[in-house]
Structure 1
Amino acid sequence: MTEHVLVTDEDATRVITLRRPEKKNALTQEMYAAMSNAIDTAQNNPEIRCLIITGGSGVFTAGNDLDDFMKASSAAQGEARPMNAVKFLHSLVHNTKPIIAAVDGIAIGIGTTLTFHCDYVLASTAATFSTPFIHLGLVPEGASSLLVPMTMGHQRAFEMLVMGRPVSAQDAKEAGFVNAVVAPGHTEVEARKVAREICALPAEAVALSRKLLKQPPDELVRRIEQESHLFSERMSSKEAMAAFKAFFARKKA
């Protein structure tokens, strides 16, 4: 496990808190493993009725820690995606418990993608959602190429996923993937209120209704595998290599 992910069970809710503020909660492979474990171990625990993913006040996540990501990609020896990142995506797909995202600040890459696997999303007025894969010469991941256009339509999805334009909290609400916009610093408090509301409902009826609303897991897994194959190919493309080289050069400057 890692100190960068805090998992607490309060009443019937499991709260998964990203806490790497010095790196804007950029995700390492260890963090992915910790989040996967928190989701997976909740599945057969009847005491856990709801899940919350939060980054705390001021930030959600800056997406992949690119240094860690590149090392993991090299070590994967042909795997479509680093093992723990893939496991986390599969954990989201196979999760059967209502899951709430509390987004206060930036949600980049997988930070945005994971919200489309959530059942309820709260965002502060300071939140922004972006999927800048295109700027790194890459393609969407996490079944976002399926879920995003289903949620917000092709044109808005193209603007976000292909053009890489960021989306404000209010625009995200209008697009349909944010339920409510609240003041900065209040997303987690509001998420706990929503969790209590959900936990007060009949558990079996909630589980069955949620299953009816969600895309079949097999369909999501197929799209993740398709994206992962293309993502892996793109990692060795001239465009991606040039983009990563430029990124790390800027980072050193």
Structure 2
Amino acid sequence: MTENIIVTDEDSTRTIVMRRPEKKNTLTQEMYLAMSDAIDSAQSNPAIRCLILTGRSGVFTAGNDISDFLQAATSKEDRGRPKNAVIFLQSLVNNKKPVIAAVDGIAIGIGTTMVFHCDYVIASTTAIFQSPFIQYGLVPEGASSLLLPRIVGHQRAFSMLVMGRSMNAQAAREAGFVNTVVPPGHAIVEARKAAREICNLPAAAVEISRKLLKLPTEDLVRRIDQENQFFGERMRSPEAVAAFQNFFLRKRK
């Protein structure tokens, strides 16, 4: 397992930490696979009753490493987005245990997408949620085009997914995908409290109730596949390739 993903089990809760501070916790293909493994292996472990997703160094995650996008976009192989990201998203969809997100700082791109799949979300006042795919000539991912309108309504979803506008923690709470806003550094503390509360409830009743609340898995998988097809097509478009290249040109200046 990559050193950029830290997995710990304590008090019936598995905590998955994204840690790549020098890159604002941007996610590599190895990190996606490590998170997917951590989620998948928890499914058959009755001792794990709840999952927490969080970041380190005051950042949730700045999203996908853009170098992966550029490499895939300029590859001679005709494929969708780098496959381990899709594997991770599918693990989130197929997961049967409550997931809590503890968000400090920025949650960009897939960092915001994964929050939409969580059952309970705690954000610090420094949290910023943004899905800037449109700025790179891309489209929504991870069934976010299905989940977000259901949570916040069409107009707010359009603002985030099509216009690429960001939301702070308080706005996200008012929109409905953040439960609690806390001071900086306190998100993980509150997440552990919520996890203990969940773990003290009857496990079978929690699992059944959660399933009743969620959209059917097959609907989410179907939307992920549909988005991934469009995502792959758009990723190889001239405007997307130019946007990826401009990203690195700006970083060099």
How would you bin the TM-score normalised by the shorter chain? over 0.9
On the 8 A contact 1:28/1:69 being kept in 2, the answer is no
**Partner Cα distance (1:162, 1:233) in 2:** 17
**Displaced runs of 4 or more, over 6 A:** none
CA-atom RMSD, angstroms? 1.2
Range that drifts further, 54-63 or 162-171: 54-63
Q: After TM superposition, list the pairs within 5 Å mapping 1:15-34 onto structure 2.
A: 15-34=15-34
5+ long unaligned stretches in structure 1: none
Structure 2, unmatched stretches of 5+, are none
Between 73-82 and 171-180, the greater mean CA deviation after superposition: 73-82
Which residue of structure 1 lines up, in the alignment, with residue 129 of structure 2? Answer: 129
- CA-CA distance at 1:76 after TM superposition: 8.7
- Conserved 8 A contact 1:104-1:123: yes
SS of 2:34's partner is helix
Count of aligned pairs: 253
Code of the residue aligned with 2:101 in structure 1: it is: A
Q: Does 1:230 align with 2:230?
A: yes
- Once the two structures are TM-superposed, the CA of residue 77 in structure 1 deviates from its matched residue by 2.3
Aligned CA distance change for structure 1 residues 57 and 187 (closer, same or farther; 3 Å): farther
The answer as to whether partners of 2:24 and 2:59 remain within 8 angstroms in 1 is: yes
| Distance (Å, rounded) in 2 between the aligned partners of 1:51 and 1:72 | 31
Residue number in structure 1 paired with 2:49: 49
Q: Deviations over 1:113-156 (max 9, x none)?
A: 00010000000000000000000010000000000111000000
Alignment of 1:238-249 (within 5 A): 238-249=238-249
1-side partners of 2:50 and 2:173: how far apart? Answer: 22
- Identity within the alignment, %: 69
The DSSP-based 3-state class of the residue aligned with 2:77 is coil
Query: Which letter does structure 1 place at the counterpart of 2:32?
Result: Y
Match of 1:35 in 2: 35
In the superposition, the TM-score normalised over structure 2's length comes to: 0.97
Q: Secondary structure at the match of 1:42?
A: helix
Q: Secondary structure at the match of 1:41?
A: helix
**Corresponding residue for residue 199 of structure 2:** 199
Greater CA deviation, 71-80 or 101-110?
Answer: 71-80
Structure 2 distance, partners of 1:189, 1:90, is 28
Partner of 1:77: 77
Deviation at 1:238, TM superposition (A): 2.2
Contact 1:106–1:129 (8 Å) recurs in 2: yes
